[in-house]
Amino acid sequence: MKPMLIAPLSLAGLLGACADMGTNVDPLLDGAPNAQFQSDLSDCRRLARNQKQLDHETMASAAIGAGIGGALGEADNDGDALGGAVVGALAGAAMGASEASEAREKIVLNCLRGRGHVVVN
C-alpha cells in the first residue's frame, strides 16, 4: 500500500475511534458503590460519548495540523507540502484525540459526582 494512502486511512481510523476514548474510565470510589452505581456509570459514559463537539474539535486540530505541516513541508528544501500536510494532520488529530479523551473522562467523573457518587480520581 502506498504511504500516501496509509496516512489518510490511519487518520480516518483515529477519528472514528474518538467517540469511545475516555468513556471507559474505571472510576475510583471512596467507599463501596451503591446499587445505582452501574446504571449511573452507563448513563454517564453515554453522555460523554454523545458530546459530538469534541469530535469536531479533533477534526479541527487535524485540519490545523495539516495546514501547518503543509506550510512547513513547502518551506523545507524538499518542498513536500503534501507529505508535511499528512504528517501534520496525523499529529493534529492525535493531539485532538488525546484532548477529547481527557474531556470525556472528566465528563464521566463529574457526571458521577453530580449523581452523588464520591469519586476520587
Closest residue by Cα to residue 24 from 112, 111, 117, 104: 104
End-to-end Cα spacing for the chain: 43
Q: What is the pLDDT of residue 1?
A: 43
* 83 domain residue, yes or no: yes
- 114 vs 79: CA distance, rounded Å: 53
Report the residue count for the chain: 121
**In which domain, by residue range, is 90 found?**
52-121
Q: What is the pLDDT of residue 117?
A: 97
Q: If you search the block for the grid coordinates 487518520, which residue do you land on?
A: 11
Helix axes 3-17, 52-75, angle to 10 degrees: 150
* 31 domain residue, yes or no: no
Q: What is the pLDDT of residue 54?
A: 76
* 74 domain residue, yes or no: yes
- 99 vs 8: CA distance, rounded Å: 20
φ and ψ of 47, to 5 deg: -60, -45
* 43 domain residue, yes or no: no
* 104 domain residue, yes or no: yes
Q: Structural domain tally of the chain?
A: 1
pTM value? Answer: 0.70
Residue 6 reports pLDDT greater than 90: no
